[in-house]
Amino acid sequence: MQSHLSKASGSRHSRVSHFATLAVVLTPVWLSLAAATGLI
């Protein structure tokens, strides 16, 4: 909802926040992959 406001404020902050969101979302995926490779 605040994507337009973040884009207007600055591309740097929007990119950082977007990257942080992706990192948080992908963390469980990386953990599951690490666990799977560790079990094998």
At 10 the pLDDT is 61
Query: Are 27 and 34 within 8 A, CB to CB?
Result: no
Give the span between the Cα atoms of 21 and 14, in whole angstroms. Answer: 10
At 13 the pLDDT is 77
Number of domains in the chain: 1
Give the span between the Cα atoms of 21 and 27, in whole angstroms. Answer: 10
Give the structural domain span for 29. 3-39
At 25 the pLDDT is 96
At 28 the pLDDT is 95
At 19 the pLDDT is 93
| pLDDT < 70 regions, the chain | 1-10, 40
